[in-house]
Structure 1
C-alpha cells in the first residue's frame, strides 16, 4: 500500500466558483498520482456551490472508498438556506460509499433538523468512530435525529461503535442534555466525549452525569472528558450531578484529560469529592482543568493528595477564577515538591486573589518544563514591581509569563472559543430558517 496523503482545498474563506474548482481538481489529480493513498480529504472553511461540487464529484467518488478522515467543517456558512441544504445532501451522496471512513468533522455548519436529515446517510457508514459536531446550532430536536442516523443507517453496531464525540458550543439545553444522555450511555467504546458550552443548567447536567455513570459501568476506556459549563453542583446539599460524575470517574483508569471548568461552586466538598474519585480511579492525568469552579483555599487543601498522585504525569493544570488565594496556591505547589522532574508545562492561576506571597511560593517551586504561566487579573499583583517580575521570569526562563493580556509585546492566545460564536450561529440559523 502506498503512502497515505491528505488532499486539502485550502485558500481564502470565500465561495468556490467553477473556475477555481477546476484548478483544485487538477491539483488534486497531480497530488494523488503515483504510489499514494488518499486517506484524508479536507474541504473545510470554503463555501461550496453546486457547480463547483459537480466539477470535483467524479474524482471524489472515485477516492471515497479509501478515505479514512473527512473534514467538512464550515462549508455552508453564509449560503442561502436551500443552497446550504443542497450542498449537505450532495456531500452525503458523494461520500456515502466511503466504507472505510473513521472520522467525520462537521463543525461550524448550521445543522438544523433539515440539514441533519440531508447529511444523515453519511453518518451511518459502518466504520465511523469519531464525529465532531461543534458549534452547529444543534438543539434538543436534532439530538434524537442524530441518534437515529447513527443507529438506523449503520450496517454496524450504530452508536456503540463511536470512540470520539464532540458536541461543543451547541444550544442543546436541558431536554437536549437528556437526549444526549440517551445516546451516550450506549457508547461502550467511548474514548473522548466533549460537551462544552451547551448550557444544560443543573437539571440537564444531572441527565448527562447519570449517562456518563451508566456508560462507565460497561467500559473503562474513556481517556478524555470535557464537560465545561455543565452546572454539576447547585450547593453542598444538592450535588447529585457531581456525585454521579465522580462515581463514573472512579471507573476510568485510562483517563488522561479532565475538563470540568465553569461547572459550579465546588468549594471544599465538591473539590474533595472529585479529587477522591480521581485517586480511586488510579488514572494518570495529563491535563486537569478546574477553572471557574470556585475551589477556594479549603478546596485546594482537599485536592492535595490527588495532586501529589498526579504530579508525575500532569502537563497542564488550569485553576483560574477559583478564589484560591496565595495560601491555596502554596498548598497546590507543594504537591509537586517531591517530583524530581515534574512534566508540568502549562499552569493557569488567573483571578485567584493572589498577592506577593504567591510569587514567593512560585519562586520556591521547581518546574523545569514550564512553558506558560498565567497570573492575570490578580488585583494584588497589579502593583508588583518590575524586579520581582524579572526574578520570576528568570526562575522560569523557558516559560512565557502573563501578568496581563500581553507578554513580550504579544497578546495572549485565547484557547477557548467565546460563547458569542454560539449566539452568532443561532442568529444565523434563525434568520435563514434552517
Structure 2
C-alpha cells in the first residue's frame, strides 16, 4: 500500500484487521503513506497483539517521531515477534543501526550518546554512519569518534552529514584522526551553520596545521555563543592560528569555559597574544591548559595580569613543563595571592620552582580565601618542604587540599614533616603507594626522560 495517502486514520483502520487472530499477513509495505507518531503507536500495538506472522514491514518515508521509534524498538524486543526485515530509514542508515546495535546493544535512534572510539570504521562503515547522522530521526547529542583512523575523505563525508542535521549535536570528539584540509573545511562549514549548537569540540592530536587552525577558529568566531569546551592539544596553530583564536576569545559573545592547548608549541609572543585576549573577556573561562608552552617573561607577566583580574574565575590552571623560572614563579604566585578564591587545581610540575617559589606559594595557601584542592609540583627542584607543611598545618588550606604531588623532588629529611601532616585530623590528603616518580602526560614527549628507579632521596611520592 506504499505511496498512498493513508495517514494515521487509515493505518488505524488497517490495524483492526492486523489484530484479528485469523490474519496471517507476512509482508506489509507502507512506505510514504504520511504516517506519524500516532499511526506508529497504533501499528505497534496491533502487531504486539498478533505478532507471530509478520516477517517484513516497510515504513520508510514516514515520520515516526521519537516515541514511534521507541514503539518499534519495543516490538522487536518481543520474543514472539517474527520480524526479519524492518525498514524506515535509507538502506545505509539501516545497516548503521544494525552495526551500532551489535556494539552497544541499542538502537542508535534511541541513544543520545554514541561512542565508536578506537574502532577502525573504514569507508563502508563511515558511509553508513553518515547516512544515519543525516537522517532526521537521528537526535544524537554526543558523538565520540576518538581514534577511529578517519581519513580526510571520510572526515568530509561525516562532517557533511552532520551539517545536514546539526541542531541536536552538543559534543563532538574527533581526537586522533586526520581530517586534512577538506575535512577541516567541512567541519568549519558545520561550525558556521546557525543551527549548529555544538558545546564541546575535541580535536586533540588531529595534525591540524596553521592554515587549518585559521579556518577553524574563524568559523567558530562567526558562531561563537554555544561553544564551551575546545581541545586543540597536540596541534600546531602557529602565529596566524593563535591570532585567530585570540580574536575568538575577545569576542564578547564567546563563552568558552575550557581551553586546552597542551603541546601546541605556543611561543612567548603567542602566549602574550592569547593571555591579552583572555584578559579582555575573562569572566567565563574556568580551565586553561598551556602545558608545554614557552611563556617567557612577557607571557608570565600577562598571565599574571589575567589571574589578578577580579573578573577572572579560573578554577584549573595547567602550566606543566612551561620552562618557568624561579623569578617567574614569584610573579605568578603573587598574582594568585591577589585573587585566590576561585582556583581549585594548579599544576606547576616540571618547572624550576625551587624552594623560593614554594615559600612564595605558601602565601597563597595562607590566604583565608584559598580553597585549592589539587596542587602538583612534580620535579620542580624542591629540596625542602618545611614552610609548605607549616602553612598547611596552620591554615584552613588543609581542610580543602585533596591531592599534593611532590614526587621526583629530593626533599630529604623534610618528608617526615609531611607524615606529621597526614596524621592531622583535618587532613584530607590521599597517599600514593606507587614508589615510582610519576611523569605527567601533560609534558611534551621530547621532555620526558626514560623512567629510572628512584634513589632513596628521590621524593616522597605523597599525593
> What TM-score do the two structures reach when normalised by structure 2?
0.66
Q: Say whether the 8 Å CA contact 1:313–1:343 is kept in structure 2.
A: yes
Shift in CA distance, 268/54, structure 1 to aligned 2, threshold 3 Å: closer
Shift in CA distance, 61/332, structure 1 to aligned 2, threshold 3 Å: closer
Which sections of structure 1, spanning at least 5 residues, go unmatched?
Answer: 1-27, 34-49, 402-406, 421-434
Determine helix, strand or coil for the equivalent of 1:177: helix
- 1:364 is aligned to 2:391: yes
Mapping for residues 24-423 of structure 1, pairs under 5 Å: 53=98, 56=101, 64=109, 67-76=111-120, 84-96=122-134, 97-98=136-137, 100-124=139-163, 125-127=165-167, 128-140=169-181, 142-151=183-192, 156-158=194-196, 161-189=197-225, 190-198=227-235, 200=236, 204-215=237-248, 216-234=250-268, 239=269, 241-250=270-279, 251-264=281-294, 266-280=295-309, 282-339=311-368, 342-356=370-384, 358-365=385-392, 366-378=397-409, 380-381=410-411, 383-384=412-413, 387-395=416-424, 397-401=427-431, 407-409=432-434, 416=441
Determine helix, strand or coil for the equivalent of 1:86: helix
Q: Say whether the 8 Å CA contact 1:290–1:318 is kept in structure 2.
A: yes
1:60 and 1:258 map into 2 onto residues whose CA distance is 37
Q: Say whether the 8 Å CA contact 1:61–1:95 is kept in structure 2.
A: no
Cα drift, residue 390 of structure 1: 2.0
Cα drift, residue 277 of structure 1: 2.4
Q: Identify which of structures 1 and 2 has the higher relative contact order when contacts are C-alpha pairs closer than 8 Å and 6+ apart.
A: 1
Determine helix, strand or coil for the equivalent of 2:266: coil
Q: Say whether the 8 Å CA contact 1:99–1:126 is kept in structure 2.
A: no
Cα drift, residue 347 of structure 1: 0.7
Cα drift, residue 32 of structure 1: 9.0
1:68 and 1:149 map into 2 onto residues whose CA distance is 19
Shift in CA distance, 67/258, structure 1 to aligned 2, threshold 3 Å: same
Determine helix, strand or coil for the equivalent of 1:70: strand
Cα drift, residue 334 of structure 1: 0.7
1:130 and 1:279 map into 2 onto residues whose CA distance is 32
More strand per residue: 1
Determine helix, strand or coil for the equivalent of 1:390: helix
1:290 and 1:364 map into 2 onto residues whose CA distance is 23
1:343 and 1:359 map into 2 onto residues whose CA distance is 21
Show CA shifts across 1:152-208 (max 9, x none): xx5x445xx33221111222233333333333322412211111112x1xxx33223
Which sections of structure 2, spanning at least 5 residues, go unmatched?
Answer: 1-72, 79-94, 446-463
> What TM-score do the two structures reach when normalised by structure 1?
0.70
What is the alpha-carbon root mean square deviation over aligned residues? 3.5
Match of 2:83 in 1: none
Number of residue pairs matched by the alignment: 347
Determine helix, strand or coil for the equivalent of 1:303: helix
Determine helix, strand or coil for the equivalent of 2:320: coil
Q: Say whether the 8 Å CA contact 1:197–1:229 is kept in structure 2.
A: yes
